Amino acid sequence: MLNGVEVETPVFMPVGTRGTIKTISQEDISEIGYDLILTNTYHLYLKPGIEVLEKFGGVKNFMSYKKAMLTDSGGYQVFSLSGLFKFQKDGVKFSSHIDGSKHEFTPEKVIDVQRSIGSDIMMVLDDCAPANSTRERLEESLVRTHYWAEKSIAHWEKDKRNQNLFGIAQGGTDLELRVKSLKAIQNLPFSGVAIGGLSVGETREDFLKVLEHIAPYHEQTRPRYLMGVGTVIDILEGVKNGIDMFDCVLPTRNARNGQVFTSNGKLNLRNESLKFLDSPIDKECGCKVCKNYNLGYIRHLQKVKEFLGFSLATYHNLYFMKNFMQKIRQAIEEEKFMDFYANWKKIYSKEIFSVD
């Protein structure tokens, strides 16, 4: 329960980085039934800025969104977007990717920014080491991440409001360091625990190896969040290994690039074979796009880059993900998850299918 909003897990969170989920409205999100979405501290801090968000009483009022929200700390964006940052003991200095202006994030400041944003779940500032980092770099990341986690807890506990704070475990693909970091973060009184630094360029084999290795060490009393992961197969693997929460830009980004998810697998909406088809994206889907629009028309919109084509595909993909998570929860309740896992993994292990 997040400020009166009940969120069932496992859950997928659509990503609204700058205070919007690209190409669709808050009414669409509500209509689909999402109770929890994600925005980004780094981007909202830069634009529209904290003064604007405080004037409106937080980003939820600003964007007319009524349900629950998680904000990423922005640390990953500091390191990945600007390319111009410098670690300090108590934080990181960085240059804005927008105008080059100079800024500083500390564990305390990141929490204060998220207090102004008014999110229901705040993430701590952490050090996400790049893929294929050396052992030395990963150990450095853990020292920094754990120290910042302790400072974050101390600052949050002075004024918790109605906001929850999640810690982030790191460790790259080093199994020993992964367990060490997970235990360190779980030893602190966070509301939930996130796994960071996966799906950042490591091999598929290493991704699965880490998930499976740390699964027995997960504490069962708090939500477990796998950050930045949200393909069908990755969600299946995550749930199998004890993960409760997921987020990813792929359902929305792929939609804008003409790819949709269906009960038969992934479909390329720009495929020539769809040109004359008077059938929905997915005959088994109950979304308003599948009820009202044919593939031939949606393909046309995608080919000529009309915004409606992006919007329809995004709506469908998010509806699919919401329905997919509901099916996962049902399979778990009925103790049929492993059969569900095998079936969907087989479907989504295929390349993009074609419609005859």
Candidate from 70-74, 175-179, 210-214 with smallest mean pLDDT? 70-74
The pLDDT, as a whole number, for residue 240 is 98
User: What pLDDT is recorded for position 119?
Assistant: 97
**Beta carbons within 8 Å of 78's beta carbon, 6+ residues apart:** 42, 85, 92, 94, 105
80: confidence class by pLDDT, cuts 50, 70, 90: confident
Name beta bridge partners: 352. none
Q: What's residue 352's pLDDT?
A: 62
Length of the chain, in residues = 356
261: its two tokens: 């998810």
Indicate which residue of 35, 234, 247, 282 is catalytic.
Answer: 247
Res 82: pLDDT: 65
The percentage of the chain sitting over the pLDDT mark of 90, rounded to a whole number, equals 89
* Of 192, 204, 201, nearest in space to 233 by CA: 204
DSSP 5: B
Structural domains for the chain = 11-248 (3.20.20.105), 258-348 (no CATH)
Give the pLDDT mean for 26-39.
Answer: 97
Structure tokens at 46: 């830069």
Q: Has residue 5 got a pLDDT over 90?
A: no
Phi-psi region of 131 (alpha: psi -120 to 50; beta: other; left: phi over 0): beta
Q: Is the pLDDT of residue 158 over 80?
A: yes
Q: The dihedral of CA 211, 75, 246, 157: what is its sign?
A: positive
Please say if 127 is a catalytic residue. no
- Asked if 260 and 316 count as a contact pair (C-beta separation under 8 A), the reply is yes
If DSSP codes are grouped into helix, strand and coil, which group holds residue 107?
A: helix
Instruction: Identify the DSSP state of 226.
Output: E
Nearest to 249 by CA among 267, 231, 270: 231
Burial class (CB in 10 A: 0-12, 13-18, 19+), 315: buried
pLDDT at 354 over 60: no
Kindly report, residue by residue over 34-50, the tens digit of the pLDDT: 999 999 999 999 999 99
Catalytic residue among 35, 72, 244, 282: 72
Is position 234 annotated as part of the catalytic site? no
Closest Cα partner for 228 from 86, 100, 83, 131? 131
What's at 60, amino acid-wise?
K
- Distance in angstroms (rounded) separating the CA atoms of residues 20 and 320: 19
